[in-house]
Amino acid sequence: MRDEPLTIGGHTFTSRLMVGTGKYPDMDTMVRAIEASGAEVVTVAVRRVNLDRSKESSVLHFLDPKKIFLLANTAGCYTAADAIRYARLAREAGFNAFVKLEVIGDEETLLPDVAGLLEAAKVLVQEGFKVLAYTNEDLITALRLEDAGCAAVMPLASPIGSGLGLLNPFSVRTIKRRLRVPVIVDAGVGTASDACVTMEQGVDGILMNTAIAAAQD
């Protein structure tokens, strides 16, 4: 029996795991971990990387866009204007039209600024971007992001990098039940068991970074 493919914004993927590129001890470990994960979608923080693929100091130098689907993200952006600017920069640098949209509202917890997120999402959707929006586990915000035209909504399991697992299963389950677009849980999924519990809520996929990048092996 084969898993049903996942379609986001008209693009179909066979893996429901997405992974990040941050916090690895070195580039070789990153590449081997991504390959071992079987993930097709790999996120890249546009604000934090050298966009010149020819430079060996750039993460992009080690990632083959023919083998993986590079998803630009706006991590580190604290305003809608900043997030919009970096999304545009990614597209100009040769990324596809997909963007994982983050507008951070608090420097300590890295929780999202949902007002800024909605503002940026509306602009980017109008400009032809396929927006995957990182948000909190609030149903109303998720519905508004869907109404704004987002290709997927990405509620957090718990704060970014916390490894606390899925703190509010009911809210995530409700978001999945009410939305028509894919729901990908992002942030705080710290262990394999966390991933299992999260997928048991019926969501379409998960994104993991710290749990993989900071693992001992």
Annotated catalytic residues are 100
- How far apart are the C-alpha atoms of 194 and 201, rounded to whole Å? 11
Question: Under 8 Å CB-to-CB from 126, ≥6 apart: which residues?
Answer: none
- How far apart are the C-alpha atoms of 185 and 17, rounded to whole Å? 10
Contact 67, 42 (CB under 8 A): no
Element spanning 116, H or E = helix 114-126
- How far apart are the C-alpha atoms of 185 and 197, rounded to whole Å? 11
Contact 23, 165 (CB under 8 A): no
Q: Is 174 helix (H, G, I), strand (E, B) or coil?
A: helix
Taking alpha carbons only, the member of 47, 45, 49 closest to residue 20 is 45
The two three-digit tokens of residue 88, written as one number: 């545009």
